[in-house]
Amino acid sequence: MRRYVRHIWNSFRKGDMVLLLLCLVLTAFGVLIIASTRNAVGYGRYVTIQLVAALLGILVYAIVSSVDVEFFSEHRLAFTIFNVCLLLLLIPFGTDNGSGNRSWLAIPLMPVDIQPAEICKIFYILVCASVMSSHQNKPSSPKAVFHLLGHMLLLLGLNMVLSKDLGVSLIFVFVFIGMAMSGGVNVLWFLGGIGLVVASFPIWWNMLGEYQQNRIMILFDSSIDPSGIKERFHIVRALKSLTGGGLTGQGVFEGTRTQTEGALFAQHTDFIFAAIGEELGFVGCMLVLLMLVAIIARCIWVGTRSTDYMRKLICFGAASALIFQVCINVGMCLEFAPVIGLTLPFVSYGGSSIVTLYAMLGLVSGVYARPHPTSRERYIRPPKRYLQ
């Protein structure tokens, strides 16, 4: 046991400390905002859970960064089975947790509910990177594309059917697109995919619930709920909070709507960016975005620094997931994106979200520590004639 602890510690020291520092600063800021947004009902429980999750996340970050990605590549079938089994747990243990979507697991004896799709996201990135690595000589071949597409559709379909959570499900799609593009898949495949989505619009549109359709339509049709008392209710309030802080904000623990329970929906999770705008103004919002951009840019930089195809893809997959989540969360507050229930990375409240984010970036840290394959020679057996 002592030997493994020493190995994890040594690997952790070689990992990306800059990336970890960026995550810690943003997490600390998030804890402050969570305390402010939950001040009206008592923030002690929320802050405690977030801090414990952050400490656990740091431990997971260290453990994950100590594992060579070659190990993950060897076990992609096991990771795929794990993802499927984890999502299937939504059948007996699924709960909406107040979100409207049955996307949380309320397992007996577990102190908190967990969101299985957040965990699946990490293993999905690993599986995608491994699959593309096995086809890296011909990434645009039908065999490679459909192999990759099959894994995405499996998780997308399962999560949509079992949880009805469109927001988290779309993360799998965006990670697929980001990794496929960075992996060298021909643009014609993407054009064909767009055409297929457009052609099948009547089918998948009718599969959405009425409330999901309305959340999308209000972005394009101003005649839907112009008074803002139905479909636009949450967005209107978020916009008022976001713009109510002006340049520097009303002050932490001083926001008019933020400090009034029920005045701003999900102010500590989905609409926390609006709360930041009210209490810290435009300056606070820009600082948060700059920190998030710095984390994403660091992931991309670590990926470009590596010469190994699979390691690059892991970093680009993590960056893709973060880009999508940030754009949708901020877009919800600005009425540029539908309200689909995605949190702001490292800032919004959520124990499972924080732990999985640190685990995902632990993969990037592992690539930073080992940018090149170190053990490939043990997987390549020389031809028989050289052994005689």
Q: Which of 25-29, 124-128, 369-373 has the lowest mean pLDDT?
A: 369-373
pLDDT of residue 367: 94
- Tens of pLDDT, residue by residue over 348-383, are 998 889 999 999 999 999 999 998 886 544 444 444
Determine the Cα–Cα distance for residues 313 and 129; give it in Å rounded to an integer.
6
- Tens of pLDDT, residue by residue over 287-331, are 999 999 999 999 999 999 998 999 999 999 999 999 999 999 999
Determine the Cα–Cα distance for residues 35 and 253; give it in Å rounded to an integer.
8
Average pLDDT for residues 147-172, to the nearest whole number?
91
* Amino acid identity, position 323: I
φ, ψ dihedrals at 105, nearest 5°: -105, 120
pLDDT of residue 213: 82
pTM passes above 0.75: yes
Domains of the chain: which residue ranges? 9-372
Q: Which of 7-16, 72-81, 352-361 has the lowest mean pLDDT?
A: 7-16
77-111 per-residue burial string, b: 16 or more CB within 10 A, e: under 16: eebbeebeebbeebeebbeebebebbbbbeeeeee
Average pLDDT for residues 186-210, to the nearest whole number?
89
* pLDDT band, residue 385 (cuts 50/70/90): very low
Q: Which of 52-61, 102-111, 136-145, 354-363 has the lowest mean pLDDT?
A: 102-111
φ, ψ dihedrals at 114, nearest 5°: -125, 155
Determine the Cα–Cα distance for residues 194 and 201; give it in Å rounded to an integer.
11
* pLDDT band, residue 221 (cuts 50/70/90): confident
Average pLDDT for residues 99-127, to the nearest whole number?
86
Q: Which of 29-33, 116-120, 339-343 has the lowest mean pLDDT?
A: 339-343
Query: CA angle 310-58-344, nearest 5°?
Result: 80
CB atoms within 10 A of CB 239: 17
SS3 for 312? helix
Q: Which two tokens stand for residue 256?
A: 């008019």
Average pLDDT for residues 68-80, to the nearest whole number?
86
